[in-house]
Every structure is written in C-alpha cells, then in structure tokens.
Amino acid sequence: METTTINKEEENLLPEESLLIINKMINSAKNKLADDGFHLIFWGWLVMLCALTQYITLKLNYDWGALVWMLLPLGGIFSAVYGYKQAKTQKVKTHIDTYLGYLWGGFLIAMFITLAFGYAHGIKSTYFFLMLLYGMATFISGGILNFKPLIFGSLFSFVFAILSVFLGDIDQFLCISAALLCSYIIPGHLLKSKFKSQQYA
C-alpha cells in the first residue's frame, strides 16, 4: 500500500487535528437515543386496555370481554406500518437498531408460542410466562439503550409475574395491566420525552 509521511500530506493535517475529527464524528454518531418509545407506549396502552376490559367484564359476568383481544391483530398492522414508515425516513442504521430488532423479533416469536400453546398449562401459567417475557425484553432494551427507567420498570414485570402465582384466574388480568403500566407505559413515555428533548437540543 502506498503511504506517505504526515508532513507531505496533501492537506497538511496535524495529528491533533486528525484525532479531533475522529472524536467529533464518533461522538456525533453515537449520542442519539435510538428509540422514540412509540412501540412501548402503543402496545402498553393497547394490551392494558384489553386486559382491563376483560377483567371488568368477567367481574360483571358479561361474556363478550374476550372479543376485545381482536384489537391486537389490528394493532399489529398499525405498528408494522409505523415501523416501516419510520425505517424509510431513517438515514442511518446503527448496531443498536439491529440488536433491538433481533431482541423484539425473538420476543414476538416467544410471545406467540406462549399465547398459542400456553393454554395447555392453564391461563395462570400463560400470563406468568408473558410477564416474564415482558420483563426480560424491557430489561435488555433498557440496557442496550442505556435508559435506566426502562431497566427499573422491567423489574416490576418480574415482581408481578411472581405475584400472579398467588392470585386467582380473573386477577391475572389486573396483574398483567400493572406489569404493562410499570414496564411499558411509564418508561415508554419517559423515553419519548427524552427522545423529543434531544431532537430539539
């Protein structure tokens, strides 16, 4: 490879200037928060709404409560369209985007399997495992994004998963709502406000 000494360089860059450029560019590329919290907020509210509706209808002896879960496939379409549009406007793809993509992709597969086959072990074990999955996915996301409220919030899902073992079938819906509020909704809104504040910084 052809090399030259620093003094003969076409642009006469000093070593200190080179280090400054490297430092400036690396910092400008890494200091952006990679997530706007949309999916956490959207899924947190949607699933909590479904769980609370089912809880209330079961308590009041109405039998239509389970129908509310039909909203989830519609939510899936909306979420996918949002994600697709977001990806189209993105000018840069970071390694964090890739890690988060694999994490939530794996979470979705595990969640579908739990929902489809978990009933073989009863409703309680299904919701127990769902809350563990919520906790694990948000815990790892919080770590990847270096966002402490998400890490802290994720711990509540683990706590509510343990608590659910000691509660009845109907109360599982209350438990899952509380887990979503602490692990998704509150950290999601905090993430959104941090994302917005850096946009205007």
Partner 1 sequence: MLKDLDPILHSQLRLAVVSLLVSVKEAEFTYLKEKSNSTAGNLSVQIQKLKEAGYIEVEKKFKDNYPQTICKITPKGLAAFEEYVKNLKQYITKK
Structure tokens at 136: 């694990």
Asked if 1 contacts 166 with a C-beta cutoff of 8 angstroms, the reply is: no
Q: Any contact of residue 63 with partner 1 (CB under 8 A)?
A: no
Identity of the residue, 90 or 193, whose beta carbon is nearer to partner 1 in the bound complex: 90
Going by C-alpha positions, the residue among 76, 71, 143 that lies closest to residue 111 is 76
Number of residues that bind partner 1 (CB under 8 A): 31
Least distance in Å: CB of 12 to partner 1? 10
Asked if 187 contacts 147 with a C-beta cutoff of 8 angstroms, the reply is: yes
Structure tokens at 67: 């129908």
Identity of the residue, 25 or 165, whose beta carbon is nearer to partner 1 in the bound complex: 25
Identity of the residue, 6 or 116, whose beta carbon is nearer to partner 1 in the bound complex: 6
Three-state DSSP at 88 gives helix
Least distance in Å: CB of 201 to partner 1? 16
Asked if 198 contacts 32 with a C-beta cutoff of 8 angstroms, the reply is: yes
Identity of the residue, 46 or 100, whose beta carbon is nearer to partner 1 in the bound complex: 100
Q: Any contact of residue 5 with partner 1 (CB under 8 A)?
A: yes
Q: Rg of the Cα trace of the chain? A: 23
- Within residues 83-112, the interface with partner 1 by CB under 8 A covers 88, 91-95, 97-98
Q: How far apart are CA 126 and CA 115, in angstroms?
A: 7
Least distance in Å: CB of 86 to partner 1? 14
Q: How far apart are CA 100 and CA 185, in angstroms?
A: 18
**Site track for partner 1 across 12-41, x = CB under 8 A:** -x-xxxxx-xx-xxx-xxx-----------
Binding site for partner 1 (CB under 8 A): 1-6, 9-11, 13, 15-19, 21-22, 24-26, 28-30, 88, 91-95, 97-98
